């Protein structure tokens, strides 16, 4: 453990403009840092594959009506199963979306959006967060980073990045087999292949322990949903802090 505080929070990229609950985690971390000192670490779980994570809810500047926007992906396999750091953005999506944004956000944010050149979903989100100033002074640790995966501990419940249908997909390791979730109780079983640590990421229940072996934080900021499932016994050395409250938490901060 570090001699000085390491204040961490974790989150998937959650909208090209981040959801307000993520903004609240940034603010909580900066408040703690002002009180305690130390560094802030954003554990960016960009290995998640759920396309719903990047849904972005914006409100019309005149009518206040909500609108949900999301990335357009290059194909259905990527959309359903590729991890966020490998979901490629469809050609024309950025330009088409930029033309709509003036109705929802101020011109400076539209310009920041237009300047982002990233070709995949995770990089796009992080680049826009940086242009918004949200990552100033914050160290970003990405679950997609091979060095992070090599350094992390082994966990019994995990996903594996493997080839399928010409893409890389994130398959769950279940009872000795690689499976893709189709919905409900339906799974697609993939052919068995060899894999190593650089392809492995944790499930929700094993993520804290996996992350902590790399980040070694002293404080962890968690939202209400996380508080319900975090296995705090896996990291008794951490002081857990509830993120600051924020209204309309699922909507985008911009």
158-211 confidence digits (pLDDT tens) = 999 999 999 999 999 999 999 999 988 899 999 999 999 999 999 999 999 999
Identify the pLDDT of residue 123: 98
pLDDT of res. 159: 98
CB atoms within 10 A of CB 55: 17
- Torsions phi, psi for 124 (to 5 deg): -60, -50
In a domain, 149, yes or no: yes
Torsional sign, CA 25, 28, 34, 35 = negative
Tokens of 207: 């993520």
Residue 236 belongs to some domain of the structure: yes
What gap in Å lies between CA 78 and CA 97, rounded to an integer?
20
DSSP H stretches of helix in 102-246: 107-115, 121-131, 146-151, 207-215, 224-229
Is 248 part of any domain? Answer: no
Query: What single DSSP character describes residue 152?
Result: S
In a domain, 62, yes or no: yes
Cα dist from 145 to 26, 69, 96, 140, 227, whole Å: 22, 28, 31, 11, 26
Q: What total number of domains does the chain contain?
A: 1
> Mean pLDDT in each 10-residue stretch from start to end of the chain (254 residues)?
86 97 98 98 97 97 97 97 98 97 97 98 98 98 98 97 98 96 92 97 95 97 88 93 96 98
Q: Which sign does the torsion angle of CA 19, 20, 26, 32 carry?
A: negative
**pLDDT given for residue 3 in this prediction:** 78
In terms of DSSP bridges, do strands 66-69 and 56-59 run parallel, antiparallel, or are they unpaired?
A: antiparallel
Residue 1 inside a domain? The answer is: no
Would 249 be classed as within a structural domain?
no
Distance (Å, rounded) from C-alpha 104 to C-alpha 106? Answer: 7
Kindly state whether residue 146 falls inside one of the protein's structural domains. yes
What pLDDT does residue 7 have?
98
Residue 21 lies in a domain: yes
Please give the structure tokens belonging to residue 220. Answer: 């962890």
Q: Is 151 exposed, middle or buried (0-12, 13-18, 19+ CB in 10 A)?
A: exposed
Q: Are 161 and 169 in contact (CB under 8 A)?
A: yes
Q: Tell me which residue range forms the domain holding 224.
A: 6-242
Task: Give the tokens for residue 24.
Answer: 């609240």
What per-residue confidence (pLDDT) applies to 162? 98
Residue 45 · residue 10 · CB < 8 Å = yes
- Per-residue pLDDT at 114: 98
> The whole model's pTM is what?
0.95
What is the per-residue pLDDT for 2?
52
Secondary structure percentages of the chain, helix, strand, coil, to 5: 35, 25, 40
């Amino acid at each position: 453990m570090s001699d000085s505080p390491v204040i961490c929070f974790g989150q998937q990229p959650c909208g090209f403009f981040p959801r307000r609950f993520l903004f609240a985690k940034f603010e909580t971390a900066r408040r703690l840092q002002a009180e305690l000192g130390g560094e802030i670490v954003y554990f960016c779980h960009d290995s998640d594959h759920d396309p719903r994570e990047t849904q972005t809810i914006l409100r019309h500047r005149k009518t206040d009506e909500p609108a949900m926007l999301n990335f357009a992906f290059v194909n259905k396999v990527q959309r359903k199963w590729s991890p966020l750091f490998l979901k490629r953005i469809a050609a024309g999506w950025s330009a088409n979306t930029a033309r709509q944004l003036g109705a929802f956000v101020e011109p400076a944010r539209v310009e920041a959006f237009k300047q982002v050149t990233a070709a995949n979903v995770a990089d796009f989100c992080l680049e826009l967060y940086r242009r918004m100033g949200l990552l100033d002074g914050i160290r970003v640790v990405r679950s997609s980073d091979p060095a992070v995966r090599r350094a992390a501990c082994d966990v019994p419940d995990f996903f594996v990045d493997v080839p399928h249908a010409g893409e890389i997909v994130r398959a769950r390791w279940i009872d000795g087999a690689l499976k893709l979730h189709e919905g409900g109780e339906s799974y697609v079983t993939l052919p068995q292949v060899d894999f190593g640590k650089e392809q492995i990421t944790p499930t929700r229940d094993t993520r804290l322990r996996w992350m902590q072996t790399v980040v070694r934080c002293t404080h962890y900021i968690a939202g209400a949903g996380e508080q319900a499932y975090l296995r705090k016994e896996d990291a008794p050395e951490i002081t857990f802090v509830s993120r600051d409250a924020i209204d309309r938490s699922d909507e985008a901060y911009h």
